[in-house]
Structure 1
């Protein structure tokens, strides 16, 4: 918005200054004029102050010396020199500082002022100044404050769906500027300014780092190691360095000396937040953090116990041994801090606590007390969670330290310690008995934070400089998300949370999130009643959309995290889902499924916080997660969800412009179209099928999987006309293409590429003993190389830590990159397998039921009889792949196992084909390879595969009626000639009862009909 008034003379002074002194004086006058006056800021934006500020800042980069002579001889030289003596800055720096402060003041005017700033080159110039080698602390500090002011207001800016604006993050975390962040974080807490700059950088990382690419870059560039170094400084200051660590500071990978202690005024919370943001969802990044020089220095791995010299005896033959009374001077570093934690009951398999203490493990094998972890899939689960964790043998000491911090500290530090602890637990870096400790020590603290009247115990502190929200508001908004992450896949933790009243408290909070907003909001005041918008105004001279208030965004974030916590508590227990309904929050969950209107209001101060106002994308995703968990209950699906009208908002969300919302809504619809659901017919009649079929063609694999899953449920027990609609909408040629793909080869090609690049040390294991593909990372460390790789190139003085000490060495960086690449490859392969699995499951449901023969004929007609049967046979075909770049002495090929989920899905399709009419059975028996390939799986380790193989034989040997007797005899003889009887005989003593019983039936039928 521009104003129909004459620009003030001060603008001309800034545009064409006589000297740097006059320019600096003008900037200082402008700063004093606009601070705290939003209407003046608006006027200056319209007059074009942003390009002027951009020019002032750019002049420092270009080293503009136009005013050098004028400064020496000009009238303003005396005043300038007095000011410079007071601040210790050069004249160029002083002008630059004033311009930076003005930019920060404009940003604090609200989201509408971000548009002209981000439309200019100001942010890029600020980062270039920050990254320059000669940038003094007097400049870097105001730059960081200004960047934080912009970052804090970015979420307020967007009008409709509040999409993430990554422009600032893309610049900040680019390779050009990220080294400057690492440099700032790597410095010691030598002064209040250094301390402030460290905390401001940490706040930027915690606030802006949302993309996986940014997290990977921050890890590889040394930022994560520098943050770990800051944690080490706090450990030193608190006196928690593991006993004996001082004698191992020169060990490979350590810093070479203990870091300087952090001052009492330094804040640990923003450091922990930044680390949590970077490492979450990535086991590789978490390992990188735990192996960082700072952590290894204060918490070294498995220190050997030390004994007094008099306890060490020498035998006559020269070997040493310990005396019977020998006691180590210090215990293993792994348990050094556990003594500071209280003992808690250890949960047994029955789910009841025992009287045993956590610090006194039972005499029985500890494996009997491990908790089986199931995944609810209400949130994306990192693939690394599927690995068997070795944390019981090698838990880092930082785990009990974080738990101690949670119990000993207050406020945001307590919550951030709980967040990082929860992230490490989710990634498998905690011992199994920690579950009981979390149940008794961590969950009650998190539930207490849900109290309506919860206030910070200590002085209020925020981990950013925004001042937009109080520390109590920040804590309340984030506590439910930490609770959700902690309990999501653990039934014991869920039980303790529910017993502690979490569902009741969260339900009340969700209801209160729809209370009318009580805040004094007013639009910018104008002297003239009708400000005018210049038609030719540049973006840098025009205010952006008004955005939303911090309170509104806080409520949306609060609501989102409450929904996440409710969803995380109820995935396994129907009684918990019923408790949610009994607390009366189902209508509020349905209201949370309603998106923002496509046409946003011109004046966001009219926000009433009702269901009609809608919700941003993150809240929609969380609401879909909560709704999906509730739809797991048949009774709730038939009553509460129908009464609340869950289907209508989902019909809107499935066509939402954000693909993540489409995926989340489709996952809920998957449960609504189950055969027992009363909504199945309504969804079919609402013409949702074309949308699901269209999404099945999406380039986004997750959306394809969820859409195929929903179509699979729709097809089950539906009439043939519905099934034909699905086939036609999906397109038979597309179905043919999907079922003929071979996802198992992609992983091997990827392995071949990795091995050719010299990365054979990181293995992607082949099939395990259960026949499952295990292409997980198994780093095989070369001990001899590791010692050299972890040594620092230069010996640093103990009093001064430098950035080089926090830069990942070549080996650690290579390992980090390899883990990231491997995770992506493995996830892509899993997705490809899931698409095929759901497609074959869909085919299975299309050809079962009363009209199955007609549907089989329709598939043969549209896809092709030979194409379909060949695809089934090909999935069962044993295959091997040549491994290039192998030594001649080793095997040049490897057997490639078919994923068991594909085997189960394919054999189910064959079962239903064999259950059809005799002519379809004849086609199966007559195929050259199908049954021959099937014979190789009668001894498969997975029970379902073996059972399905036997079921195929039973169906093929089944006689429909007397007219089928000759055909049945021919089929039985054919099966016997293939050697089926020998395979069945081997299953008569199978470990599984169902397999044994079905085998008896198959043998009886084959002998009966072959002899007739």
Structure 2
């Protein structure tokens, strides 16, 4: 390629003599570029990207009808369409060249022009497919640009899921399976969602605009094609929320995997979006809710033929789900012996977070764990298990991923745990075999730049990790199936040399069509070469394996020891090393040694694995010390990425425990000032983890270290945190809105199963009051159309309110967790031999009245005024159990101080009076803490304090503490009962009644 060969074509593109000559130039250019990366590079430098952007903007296809001089106008229109199509194909060819060509494409107006064309009402099918392929090609190569970037590059996702373009996805996915081109466009659109949808805002937008409902129709069409429609479903078509007809069956050539993947990425980690899926008209139509029936003898006929139920009519109990009859029987003995069966749904990876009950909305101020009534399970769960057994390849894995997501969100029944153990776990472990491969990898590959087998192997460990998380029975089945051994071997193999798939393009020195200086516009300048698809696959594989290892070992020390015996601890430590900040120039050449480091997602997974292993005392004292786990973690808490700082700090929490030999290393490495700095972060998660680590560091350490922590955090900051009131700080309007949301959502719970509950559901009224929802209240028409996929007012409002409420509740829980960890930090500061000195230090730095006043305020009962409420003008608010436990524990240690410290507590005007309200609290930890406060206040350590103990005992009796203790004499908790005996004995001996 010489410098003189390209300009004529570019000139013809910028200033064509006619549309037909421009088409010829574009066609010649396309043929010249396909498969020739050097020519692509040369033409980009010469300015081909701006020329293509001009063609796409000026030749945008639109549907127009002409009646006069039709032949001339149609010929011109046809040529314009062909010019635009050729430009799209050239853009796709450039994107095929690799990540280095993505930078100039993003710098131009090409992608907005393509999406505008795709979003136009008259976009021809012949344009839709090439555009979707171009977008899919770019989506595949975006992760290759920079492995260090976290979160993922969302530039393309922000464009595709923008409000002006997202509707085209709904329209494409909402079409009936017809021709092969329509089928391909549907699957390409679904695959694009699966690749790009990583942000919470994008997932919510896809659910609200109807994409999730359109995908549900596609799932229903596969259900129809496979013959899984529940018997009698056609009798429910007239019910509100169902379609007017059973969806058409999917053709045999249609692929289920991209549909399931798109659905899964949208609903993962959000119960509200998952319930939105289960209440979709298509799912309700093929899987209607089973209702109790009546015997024919119970149905009577009136004089005019009107049927009615006899007085003795009793509904028949609902039988087993018909789809379950197609599944094999599995032993159920393990279901009762499961150690956490009573805690279903299992706890997620949230630290102090708790899953709320299955009521309409979580109670934000009462986090006590109550029995959770088991909800009706949608028939999509057993259907997905049937898909697991009948399908193969990616469809099987995506069915596993979707049913696992529903399981994690509490939308599957308890008895599914044994079925997962015997049906799902063996399938996932089989994929981990070294010799596993798909028998037939032909057909379209929606997995990106790697083979379907590689993609399957890459994702299976992550699905296994999500499945067994926090469930000891599932973890046992996985370990018994040799999951730890296989994962350990696979982790080692991820450090094998990566075969070099391609070499850098040769080019003559200084012989390019365009200048390479920074003065050239971004549209004419190539981006970084990026990384090979194989290397990126290995990194994602490593990340997935680390997640699985971390999920298998959190509870059993024998599992953690097995990981060490398999010899993978050094590889986990190597996975904690980040990529160098100065990426090598030849980044396209695969490198896979420990010195090359790891991308951010792998670092996060490695931190999780290290955190689980540090739970074991023996492992921490042997294998982890030998491998040198501390130094990589100390480096990662200084990492520029915030998520890495949080993950590394969470792992350091276990290193800072009192039994850890690395606690001194944390102090000597000058990590404490950094933890104190992170405790002031605007990110709540980082604040929580940093305070948690500091809480462990100060326990049983010297007073000078404790004083340094108090000084570094700042006494004013400490007082500000502990004096905050996460309950009463809610505004009246916010509380009113929340109560309204709860009322509306509460009466609409049954909609997730398809019940008709309009009489009890006030959301209809709310929707009619809101002008924004009036236009979507119409029933879906008999034929498939775009309107049928736009959620009706009731379901859309429920989705929005639940999402907002979930975010606000999570924010409040995070604030509570920060305050809880701060109280625990203060408690540990006044522990140990030098406790009296530290109590005086806190009183001096924070202020005696300020500290005790903050404790009293956190125990004070609360209520909030609710204006315009008919039933009551105020509502009492329960204080979170975490705060009560932490505050009372701190008071226990204050009461263990010197006599003058005890006297301060008893003489405080509000503290002990507020404490009396919690002796009969429902949570046993709060009750036992209250009793311990009494014991410490009146326990006689030496003869000199005998008179002071009598005075304090008398004061406690006047506050009614004796009656409170008497009510605990027969407490159901043995610890509370025994401590109460001690407290009553001390009180009666010092201050008899």
TM-score under structure 2 normalisation?
Answer: 0.92
Which aligned pairs between 1:322-361 and structure 2 lie closer than 5 A? 335-348=321-334, 351=337
**Cα distance 1:1011–1:381, how it changes in 2: closer, same or farther (>3 A)?**
closer
Secondary structure, counterpart of 2:875 in structure 1:
strand
Which residue number in structure 1 is paired with residue 439 of structure 2?
A: 457
**Correspondence for 1:934:** 915
Structure 1 residue matching 2:727: 3-state secondary structure:
helix
Mapped partners of 1:379, 1:954: distance in 2: 32
Counterpart Cα distance in 2 of 1:72 and 1:684: 84
Which position in structure 2 is the counterpart of 1:505?
A: 486
Residue pairs, 1:377-392, within 5 angstroms: 377=349, 383=355, 392=374
Question: 834-843 vs 389-398, which deviates more?
Answer: 389-398
Q: How do 1:755-766 residues align onto structure 2 when only pairs under 5 Å count?
A: 760-762=743-745
Q: Quick one: which of 534, 537, 548 aligns to 1:554?
A: 537
Residue of structure 1 aligned with 2:957, choices 951, 962, 976: 976
Q: In the aligned structure 2, how far is the partner of 1:1000 from the partner of 1:783?
A: 51
Change (3 A) 1:489 1:654: same
Q: Deviations over 1:324-366 (max 9, x none)?
A: 9x999xx9696111111111110346649xxxxxxxxxxxxxx
Alignment partner of 1:831 is 2:814: yes
Matching residue of 1:245 = 233
CA deviations over 1:770-803 (Å, ceiling 9, x no partner)? xxxxxxxxx9975466899999735633xx3111
Q: Which residue of 2 aligns with 1:14?
A: 13
Q: How many angstroms apart in 1 are the aligned matches of 2:210 and 2:319?
A: 26
1:1000 to 964, 975, 981: 981
Partner of 1:414: 396
1:24 maps to 2:23 = yes
- Are 2:492 and 1:520 equivalent residues in the alignment? no
Which residue of 875, 878, 893 maps to 1:912?
A: 893
Residue in 2 aligned with 1:541? 524
> How far apart, CA to CA, are the structure 1 residues paired with 2:970 and 2:392?
62
Residues 451, 803 of structure 1: alpha-carbon distance in 2 compared, 3 angstrom cutoff: same
Q: 1:264: which partner in 2? A: 252
Matches of 1:373 and 1:279, distance apart in 2: 17
In the alignment, what sits opposite 1:772? Answer: none
**Counterpart check, 1:116 vs 2:130:** no
Partners in 2 of 1:195 and 1:807 — Cα distance?
21
- CA distance 1:235–1:370, change in 2 (3 Å): same
Deviation at 1:148, TM superposition (A): 0.6
Question: In 2, Cα distance between the equivalents of 1:382 and 1:850?
Answer: 35
Task: State which drifts further: 977-986 or 258-267.
Answer: 977-986
Q: Deviations over 1:194-243 (max 9, x none)?
A: 11111111011000000001000000000000000111111111121111
Alignment of 1:647 onto 2:647: no
CA contact (8 A) 2:299 2:308 kept: no
SS of residue matched to 2:59: helix
In the TM superposition, what whole-angstrom CA distance separates every residue of 1:407-462 from its partner, at most 9, and x where no partner exists?
Answer: 10100111011111111111111111111111111111111011111111344455
| More moved, 7-16 vs 695-704 | 7-16
Across the aligned residues of Structure 1 and Structure 2, the Cα RMSD in angstroms comes to: 3.2
Structure 1: gaps (5+ residues) = 353-366, 766-778
Take 2:98 and 2:733, find their aligned partners in 1: how far apart are those partners? 49
What is the alpha-carbon distance in structure 2 between the residues aligned to residue 742 and residue 911 of structure 1? Answer: 21
- Residues 735, 624 of structure 1: CA spacing in aligned structure 2 closer, same or farther, 3 A cutoff? same
Q: Is the CA contact 2:220–2:247 (under 8 Å) kept in the aligned structure 1?
A: yes
Question: 1:320: how far off?
Answer: 5.4
> In structure 2, do the counterparts of structure 1 residues 618 and 577 end up closer, same or farther at CA, with 3 Å as the change threshold?
same
User: What is the rounded CA distance, in whole Å, between the counterparts of 1:319 and 1:417 in structure 2?
Assistant: 44
**Cα separation, partners in 2 of 1:504 and 1:407, compared to 1, 3 Å:** same
- Contact 2:61–2:81, Cα closer than 8 Å, also in 1: no
Partner of residue 781, structure 2? 796
- Cα 1:994–1:389 change in 2 (3 A) is closer
2 CA distance for matches of 1:111 and 1:380?
A: 41
State how far apart, in whole Å, the 2-side matches of 1:855 and 1:926 are: 21
1:880 counterpart SS class: strand
What is the TM-score when the length of structure 1 is the normalising length? 0.90
Q: Is the 8 A contact 1:947 1:994 kept in 2?
A: yes
Following the alignment from structure 2 to structure 1, what is the Cα–Cα distance between the partners of residues 358 and 821? 21
1:824 offset after TM fit, Å? 0.5
Range moving further from structure 2, 314-323 or 125-134: 314-323
Given that 2:224 and 2:247 are in contact with CA atoms closer than 8 Å, whether structure 1 keeps it comes out as yes
Equivalence for 1:959: 940
Contact map agreement 2:569 2:624 (CA 8 A) in 1? yes
Q: Deviations over 1:506-554 (max 9, x none)?
A: 1110000000011332112214466551342000000000100100100
Superposed counterparts of 1:57-206, under 5 Å: 57-61=56-60, 90-158=78-146, 160-161=148-149, 163-206=151-194
Residue aligning to 2:364: none
Match of 2:927 among 943, 946, 962: 946
Specify the SS of the correspondent of 2:581.
coil
Q: Structure 1 residues 401, 122: closer, same or farther in 2, change over 3 A?
A: same
Q: Closer, same or farther in 2 for the Cα pair 1:937/1:575, shift >3 Å?
A: same
CA contact (8 A) 2:554 2:612 kept: yes
**Distance in 1, Cα, partners of 2:85 & 2:613:** 55
Structure 2 residue 382 is the aligned partner of structure 1 residue 400 = yes
Structure 1 residue 956, shift from structure 2 partner: 1.1
- 1:162: how far off? 5.7
1: distance between equivalents of 2:412 and 2:463?
Answer: 16
Q: Distance in 1 between matches of 2:921 and 2:226?
A: 56
Q: 2 CA distance for matches of 1:269 and 1:645?
A: 43
| 8 Å contact kept, 1:50–1:120 | yes
Query: What is the CA–CA distance in structure 2 between the aligned matches of 1:368 and 1:564, rounded to whole Å?
Result: 21
Task: Answer with 935-944 or 662-671: which moved more.
Answer: 935-944
- How far has the Cα of 1:62 moved from its partner? 9.7
Tell me if structure 2 keeps the 8 A contact 1:663–1:702: yes
For residues 254 and 426 of structure 1, do their structure 2 counterparts lie closer, same or farther at Cα, with a shift above 3 Å needed? Answer: same
User: What residue in structure 1 maps to residue 367 of structure 2?
Assistant: none
Deviation at 1:391, TM superposition (A): 8.1
Question: Contact 1:299 / 1:333 at 8 angstroms: preserved in 2?
Answer: no
Which ranges in structure 2 are unaligned for 5 or more consecutive residues?
Answer: 360-369, 749-755, 768-772
Structure 1's 808 and 315: CA in aligned 2 closer, same or farther, altered over 3 A?
A: closer
Return closer, same or farther for 1:431/1:565 CA change in 2, 3 Å cut-off: same
Name the CA distance, whole Å, in 2 between partners of 1:603 and 1:518.
Answer: 15
Which residue of 426, 430, 442 maps to 1:444?
426
Change (3 A) 1:568 1:5: farther
SS at 1:417 equivalent = helix
Note closer, same or farther for the CA distance 1:349–1:338 as it changes in structure 2 (3 Å cut): closer
Contact between 1:370 and 1:432, CA under 8 Å: does it hold in 2? no
Q: Give the match's secondary structure for 2:661.
A: coil
Q: C-alpha distance in 1, partners of 2:269/2:354?
A: 5
User: Counterparts of 1:318 and 1:64 in 2: how far apart (Å)?
Assistant: 56
The residue number in structure 2 matching 1:815 is 798
Contact 2:191 2:446 in 1 (8 A): yes
Partner of 1:862: 845
Q: CA deviation at 1:251?
A: 1.6
Instruction: Give the whole-Å Cα distance in 2 for the aligned partners of 1:296 and 1:749.
Output: 38
- Mapped to 2, the partners of 1:571 and 1:3 lie a distance apart of 62
CA deviations over 1:152-172 (Å, ceiling 9, x no partner): 100001154464111111111
Q: What is the DSSP-based 3-state SS (H/G/I as helix, E as strand, rest coil) of the residue aligned with 1:604?
A: coil
Alpha-carbon distance in 2 for matches of 1:734, 1:787: 47
Contact 1:219 1:278 in 2 (8 A): yes
- Counterparts of 2:190 and 2:352, CA distance in 1: 26
Q: Give the Cα–Cα distance (whole angstroms) in 1 for the partners of residues 354 and 187 of structure 2.
A: 29
The 1:519/1:7 distance shift into structure 2, 3 A limit, reads same
Cα distance, 1:470 vs structure 2 = 0.6
2:681 to 678, 698, 711: 698
The alpha-carbon deviation at position 25 of structure 1 amounts to 1.0
Q: CA deviation at 1:64?
A: 14
The alpha-carbon deviation at position 321 of structure 1 amounts to: 6.8
- Cα separation, partners in 2 of 1:480 and 1:734, compared to 1, 3 Å: same
